[in-house]
A and B are shown apart, each in its own frame.
Chain A
């Protein structure tokens, strides 16, 4: 499984270089990402821009990663392709997870105020 780790001053971005986030890799994906998150930085971005297909196993892995975020750290999803976005919307998970649309400016660092949450369509 291919993941790319990009370190930033205030956190890290994990880019998923897999076209399919499905049952064949969901468990390994979850374990690998959780290991990378442990490397530190308050802001973690999961870049799904290369993922063309995701099923409910992939969704479950993303939710598990989100739930396992250490206190005080925040997970943001970016780069959702239409097929991936559909799964989040059908399951209503887009109302809970933090999703940044491509082209949006990143949220101000260090401000996890719920009032700042960007409304999703």
Chain B
């Protein structure tokens, strides 16, 4: 391990060390399996970037995966046991220079193109404590706004029966040198 200080530029150009975290999991869309996947993801990626970056990664993925659970099920396609077909999700996450790259695919219903259009907040700020305005506050519709806010290079295509969604959660710090939690200022 070479601990001598050097300019960040040369460090970034160097091939990444061998032990950057990555993660791959296949699971049936369900809030409980999503929670388990995110817990495992956090365990694996903690220390590979700043705490705030890992938190944003977790939140962005939670929103993407929740959407698949909520909207992906094809009720017209029953499985052999008579249950509706909850999508089968493939999740792949890898730490790269400049960001944490995520690929999510699923065999659920196609993603409506409107989800990828630029999303603002589903509300505009009312005067605080205006009782009528409070009753109009949305209780949902934040998901794609958050995904677009937290990620970069968001791209989507559909091939055959699968949705493919890919994005990056940007990281500004250089890759860490085999020492999680060290130097993550």
- Residues of A near B128 (CB, < 8 A) are 95-96, 114, 117
Is B126 a contact of A60 with CB atoms below 8 Å? no
B69 within 8 A of A: yes
Contacts of B122-136 to chain A: CB distance below 8 A: 123, 125-129, 133-135
Q: For the complex, would chain B's binding face be called helix, strand, loop or mixed by DSSP majority?
A: helix
- In the bound assembly, the distance between CA atoms of A114 and B127 in angstroms comes to 10
User: Which residues from A are CB-within-8-Å of B143?
Assistant: 56
Which stretch in B9-17, B58-66, B105-113, B170-178 binds the other chain?
B58-66
Point out the residue from B126, B129, B137 that lies within 8 Å of A112, measured CB to CB: B129
Q: Identify whether the interface residues of A are mostly helix, strand, loop, or mixed.
A: helix
Inter-chain contacts of B125 with A (CB < 8 A): 92, 95-96
A5 to B52, CA, bound (A): 31
Q: In chain B between 118 and 171, which residues have their CB closer than 8 angstroms to a CB of chain A?
A: 121, 123, 125-129, 133-135, 137-140, 142-143, 145-146, 149-150
Q: Quick check: A56 and B142 within 8 Å, CB to CB?
A: yes
| A63, B125: Cα distance in complex, Å | 14
**Are A60 and B139 interface neighbours, CB within 8 A?**
yes
A87 within 8 A of B: yes
Task: Say if the beta carbon of A1 comes within 8 Å of chain B.
Answer: no
A57 within 8 A of B: yes
Question: Is the Cβ of B59 less than 8 Å from the Cβ of A87?
Answer: yes
Number of A interface residues at 8 Å Cβ cutoff, please give it.
28
How far apart sit A23 and B66, CA to CA, in the bound complex (Å)? 7
CB distance from A78 to the nearest CB of B (A): 18
- For residue A24, CB closer than 8 A to chain B, the reply is yes
Cβ of B34 under 8 Å from chain A: yes
Q: By the criterion CB–CB under 8 Å, are A96 and B126 in contact?
A: yes
A59 within 8 A of partner (CB): yes
Is A22 close to B, CB under 8 A? yes
Chain A residues near B (Cβ < 8 Å): 20, 22-24, 53, 55-57, 59-61, 63-64, 66-67, 82-83, 86-87, 90-93, 95-96, 112, 114, 117
